[in-house]
Amino acid sequence: MEEAKESPGLSLCQQVSDFMRMVLRFKIDGTDPSLVPIPAGLSANMMEDSYLCVDILLRACQTINTYQTPWTLHELRNWRRGGRKKEFPLTAELIHPSVNGQKEVYRDTPCNVRDREGRIMCYYLPGILSQRRQRQLQTAILDLCDSSIQPLTLDPASGRHWRTNSVLFKDGDTMNLRMDPGAACYSPCWLEQGHPHSPPGPSATLMNNIANLTLLQDTQEVAALMGGILSIIHPALFQRGMDVWKTLYADPWPLRNGDRVRDLLDLWATPFTAMSVIANRETPHHRDLNGGLNFFDAILTFGTYEEGRFELPEIGRRFRYDRGTAIFMEARSLAHGASAVVGERCCLVLFFRPLMLKRELPEEEMDPEDVPMPTLGELRAAVRSD
């Protein structure tokens, strides 16, 4: 019997994940990581980037780079459900560690934020994108802007949705911007909002726009690297995402525009179910209520700018948000925001739609939103058992 064809994109992601996890295991065990066998299908650049990702991630997990909140994620969510009637102990003073007894102004080294139970809800990973990768992403966005009349959505100030409201974007009419301001989402297969009972299919942005397909191609390797990181920091979420894509790839015909889904999944190289691009916007504090409980979003920043700041108000921390930074965070429960910058900033976000992960969930598998955020001990045990 002929073996089912694998998606080249998803195979790339799996290879990156296997390689990163092995490099990490060698490092944890004190074995020279340069002795990790070289996978046949990974380019030298991808291997170099994988080593960088593991290095930064390990630094972020050191005790000295850990913040622990006096509350649990569960308590934070319960407090919200209760309408915030009581005061909640969210003050920065209660968060450890401090630097020389002083509250830090800006964090600028890799770190993790975990709750009282040790469940890690945020990884701050500055410098995780090499200069070469940043240039690649920047070129991808500039090419997108050159090849489309309106590559990204920008609504008038009277618009209802803050995410595309021009008030929050730099003014392309008065400023000489290279990246057109706006935002757009892309998914090879998702449920259209407002149509939960129709079969899922490609986002409208990927139905017949060649420039957006080129964008997927140009961001493929970075998406695979972010998938590799996810496989370390939340193995169950990574596995569920990959399983869903593999199932849909093998049998896309019942989907809306199934042929198209399959073509898109040839390129899609990450377990995340959607990606968005946001150019030249400042982002007010918000939570992503369409995201999943206990899921990670991956947020990447690049461009030509200075003075970037990323804030987690409930953690009481403000982070430098220089180009080349990635932040993995539970964006549904934790409020977050990014300040305006001097220059042009672009952001790539990889995220999940929970309904896609719950589709045809095998009976023996737990609802992905019920799987708790892993602790460092759980992650270490998972890597050692590979």
Asked whether 189 and 248 are in contact (CB, 8 A), the reply is yes
| Smallest separation, CB 72 to Fe ion (Å) | 22
Within a 10 A sphere around the Cβ of 329, how many other Cβ atoms?
Answer: 24
CA atoms within 13 A on the CB side of 96: 8
Position 314 contacts Fe ion (CB under 5 A)? no
* Distance separating alpha carbons of residues 251 and 189, to the nearest angstrom: 13
Q: Between 166 and 333, whose beta carbon lies closer to Fe ion?
A: 333
Q: Sort 346 into a burial class: Cβ within 10 Å, 0-12 / 13-18 / 19+.
A: buried
Q: How far is CA 199 from the centre of its chain?
A: 25
H/E run at residue 39:
none
- Give strand pairing partners of 183: 153, 278
Q: Between 92 and 335, whose beta carbon lies closer to Fe ion?
A: 335
Asked whether 203 and 186 are in contact (CB, 8 A), the reply is yes
Asked whether 241 and 295 are in contact (CB, 8 A), the reply is no
| Smallest separation, CB 325 to Fe ion (Å) | 15
Position 288 contacts Fe ion (CB under 5 A)? yes
Binding to Fe ion in span 130-159, by CB under 5 A: none
Taking CB under 5 A as the binding criterion, the range among 87-95, 221-229, 248-256, 288-296 that sits at the site for Fe ion is: 288-296
Site string for Fe ion, 318-357 (x = CB under 5 A): -------------x--------------------------
| Number of residues this chain uses to bind Fe ion (CB under 5 A) | 2
| Smallest separation, CB 346 to Fe ion (Å) | 15
| Smallest separation, CB 283 to Fe ion (Å) | 7
Q: Between 264 and 331, whose beta carbon lies closer to Fe ion?
A: 331
| Smallest separation, CB 47 to Fe ion (Å) | 31
Tell me the backbone φ, ψ of residue 289, rounded to 5 degrees: -75, -15
Taking CB under 5 A as the binding criterion, the range among 15-23, 34-42, 164-172, 284-292 that sits at the site for Fe ion is: 284-292
| Smallest separation, CB 163 to Fe ion (Å) | 9
Q: Between 221 and 288, whose beta carbon lies closer to Fe ion?
A: 288
| Smallest separation, CB 222 to Fe ion (Å) | 18
Q: Between 288 and 322, whose beta carbon lies closer to Fe ion?
A: 288
Q: Between 49 and 288, whose beta carbon lies closer to Fe ion?
A: 288
| Smallest separation, CB 287 to Fe ion (Å) | 7
H/E run at residue 106:
none
Within a 10 A sphere around the Cβ of 269, how many other Cβ atoms?
Answer: 29
Binding to Fe ion in span 27-86, by CB under 5 A: none
User: Which residue of the chain is nearest Fe ion when measured via CB?
Assistant: 288
Q: Between 145 and 331, whose beta carbon lies closer to Fe ion?
A: 331
Q: Which long-range contacts (CB under 8 A, 24 or more apart) does 317-320 make?
A: 317/67, 317/92, 317/95, 317/104, 317/107, 317/113, 318/105, 318/106, 318/107, 319/106, 319/107, 319/108, 319/124, 319/126, 320/106, 320/107, 320/108, 320/126
Interface contacts to Fe ion, rule CB under 5 A: 288, 331
